[in-house]
Structure 1
Amino acid sequence: MSRFEGTSNYIATEDLKVAVNAAVALERPLLIKGEPGTGKTVLAYELARALNAPLITWHVKSTTKAHNGLYEYDAVSRLRDSQLGDARVHDVRNYLKKGKLWEAFTAPARPVLLIDEIDKADIEFPNDLLQELDRMEFYVQETDETIRAEVRPVVVITSNNEKELPDAFLRRCFFHYIRFPDAQTMQDIVEVHFPGIKPRLVSEALKTFYEIRDTPGLKKKPSTSELLDWLKLLLVDDVAPETLREKTPGKLIPPLHGALLKNEQDVHLFERLAFMSRREGARPGG
């Protein structure tokens, strides 16, 4: 299988490339952590593209149980059909709904399986998947058969660090934390999404963006995806780089800040900073 080097749509740092290729070589699940908006989920999509492999996605919710990934047996439908005299009741397979692991294990070509936001489920969820991910097989009681993967899928698991994952689960994964991109990497990411964008606008926008992220007391730091949304709006409204450079007291909140600041506490924080800055400027000799 070819090595992952990033794609035309996805800027991968050197250490991320190493992590992806190591996980593929070891045939271990790749556990990706990082701030929301750092491209964890997109990585699986781009990895599937790069490997020319089918992608199977399992988006985990708070109510998700491990058995949902294997299969679900619809006993209620079978009982109803038996009361109606439906011939389908004679084959229990008609009432088994394949889960994402079943799909991945029986895919005709080696797939990429994304288990997205595993930390949203309860703490038992990762442990309940250990055996299946280790052995790449599971038993179906209703049909007395074992579903076994002929080829191990490439497994990418993402976590937003909402809760700690069990040690036994972590031992079986190759781990990588996606650090928030530095200014140079971010500039490369912006160029991928907006080829030929005005360099002065990008320079001023990045300065403002990182200043906002570094503001003490900020509840939610803006992410890469929010920066890209903001840049798109700046381009649509044809905002001049000089507008972003202005640091007068009344201009501390950047234009179209709703793309970057996503809760009232952070907006109030910048309003307070602007107010304090105006007061400082209004003092005699200030």
Structure 2
Amino acid sequence: MAFQSTEHYIVSPELALAVNAAVTLEKPLLIKGEPGTGKTRLAEELAASLGRQLLTWPIKSTTKAQHGLYEYDAVSRLRDSQLGSDKVHDISNYIRQGKLWQAFVANERPVLLIDEIDKADIEFPNDLLYELDRMAFFVHETGEEIVAAQRPIVIITSNNEKELPDAFLRRCFFHYIRFPDADLLSQIVAVHFPHIQQQLLSVALEVFFELRELPSLKKKPSTSELLDWLKLLLAEDISPEVLHDSQKKGGLMPMFGALLKNEQDVALVEKLAFMARRR
């Protein structure tokens, strides 16, 4: 297998190399990077390119490692026992498979996405060490051991909001998605807007990168926000000249709400625009 850019998703050579290395080593691929740089989309495109099932496990602050293995529904069993149901005699009727279990018993090697692992409690990654190492776990309620038929391709994403344990990192192949340069961003835009006017794209990228380089910006706009902004510019038929004038004369860019996500950043850009007009 050699994963490369697809019709709908552009990857850097470094990211493609990381994906292929992780698959070869049969290790989870830990992807870090700014929000909106396509970490989740990577797993989707990898599964599509391989023609494999994608199993997505979105992580929340309340997620426990056990949720990925299985959950025992004791409440339903108690209710059924009160109603006299024959189901209560087979405890397996109340075992709900988690995403790891589903990945372990899949007929073909699936792609398992553990999305935004840094949202969970700090102990969450450590609680998965055995299962990711051995590709097996024990179901205490039924006394059976679930062993993976084949190792799933595991993609783990992180927005770098908290540090992950060293023991967990040792078991992963790591890659940090650096923010794309202008050339790579142009390729990404071309996938989504193949008929965009080159002059408009050139001016838009200039405005976009100038915005990202502001030193006091609280939330830098991401690739996904650039695509949203360009979609609005095209929908409103904003010309390159209008965009260029808003940049040179000092002012907020058209449709700025797609790029600026909080009032502090809007106030910062407005202040800089006012200073530019005075000069």
Report if aligned partners of 1:119, 1:163 keep a CA contact under 8 Å in 2: yes
- What displacement does 1:215 show? 1.0
Structure 1 unpaired stretches of 5+: 281-286
Cα offsets for 1:144-182 (capped at 9, x unmatched): 000110110000000000000000000000000000000
What CA distance in whole angstroms lies between the structure 1 residues aligned with 2:262 and 2:218?
8
What CA distance in whole angstroms lies between the structure 2 residues aligned with 1:212 and 1:243?
17
- What displacement does 1:3 show? 1.3
What CA distance in whole angstroms lies between the structure 1 residues aligned with 2:278 and 2:152?
61
What CA distance in whole angstroms lies between the structure 2 residues aligned with 1:3 and 1:192?
21
1:161 lines up with 2:160 in the alignment:
yes
What CA distance in whole angstroms lies between the structure 2 residues aligned with 1:279 and 1:22?
54
Q: Equivalent residue for 2:85?
A: 86
Question: What is the identity percentage for the equivalent residue pairs of Structure 1 and Structure 2?
Answer: 68
1:228 lines up with 2:261 in the alignment:
no
What CA distance in whole angstroms lies between the structure 2 residues aligned with 1:123 and 1:99?
20
What CA distance in whole angstroms lies between the structure 2 residues aligned with 1:220 and 1:170?
27
Cα 1:201–1:232 shift into 2, 3 Å: same
Q: Equivalent residue for 1:215?
A: 214
Q: Equivalent residue for 1:246?
A: 245
SS in 1 for 2:31: strand
Cα offsets for 1:91-113 (capped at 9, x unmatched): 10110111000000011111000
Q: Equivalent residue for 1:95?
A: 94
What CA distance in whole angstroms lies between the structure 1 residues aligned with 2:147 and 2:157?
24
Report if aligned partners of 1:249, 1:274 keep a CA contact under 8 Å in 2: no
Residues 54-133 of structure 1: matches in 2 within 5 Å? Answer: 54-133=53-132
What CA distance in whole angstroms lies between the structure 2 residues aligned with 1:204 and 1:275?
21
- What displacement does 1:252 show? 2.5
Q: Number of residue pairs matched? A: 279
SS in 1 for 2:208: helix
Residues 4-19 of structure 1: matches in 2 within 5 Å? Answer: 4-19=3-18
Report if aligned partners of 1:60, 1:116 keep a CA contact under 8 Å in 2: yes
After superposing on structure 2, the runs of 4+ consecutive aligned residues of structure 1 that deviate more than 4 Å are 247-250
Residues 28-43 of structure 1: matches in 2 within 5 Å? Answer: 28-43=27-42
Report if aligned partners of 1:249, 1:278 keep a CA contact under 8 Å in 2: no
Q: Equivalent residue for 2:23?
A: 24
Cα offsets for 1:218-261 (capped at 9, x unmatched): 00000000000000000011101011111577543101100000
Q: Equivalent residue for 1:195?
A: 194
Amino acid at match of 1:240: S
SS in 2 for 1:97: strand
Report if aligned partners of 2:47, 2:53 keep a CA contact under 8 Å in 1: yes
Q: Equivalent residue for 1:283?
A: none
- What displacement does 1:277 show? 2.1
What CA distance in whole angstroms lies between the structure 1 residues aligned with 2:117 and 2:202?
36
- What displacement does 1:71 show? 0.3
- What displacement does 1:6 show? 2.0
Cα 1:100–1:243 shift into 2, 3 Å: same
SS in 1 for 2:114: strand
How does the TM-score come out when normalised to structure 1? 0.96
Amino acid at match of 2:271: R
What CA distance in whole angstroms lies between the structure 2 residues aligned with 1:230 and 1:278?
24
What CA distance in whole angstroms lies between the structure 1 residues aligned with 2:276 and 2:234?
29
Report if aligned partners of 2:246, 2:252 keep a CA contact under 8 Å in 1: no
Amino acid at match of 1:227: L
SS in 1 for 2:128: helix
What CA distance in whole angstroms lies between the structure 1 residues aligned with 2:240 and 2:278?
26
Q: RMSD of the alignment, in Å?
A: 1.0
What CA distance in whole angstroms lies between the structure 1 residues aligned with 2:206 and 2:251?
13
Q: Equivalent residue for 1:176?
A: 175
Cα offsets for 1:4-38 (capped at 9, x unmatched): 11211111111101100000000000000000000
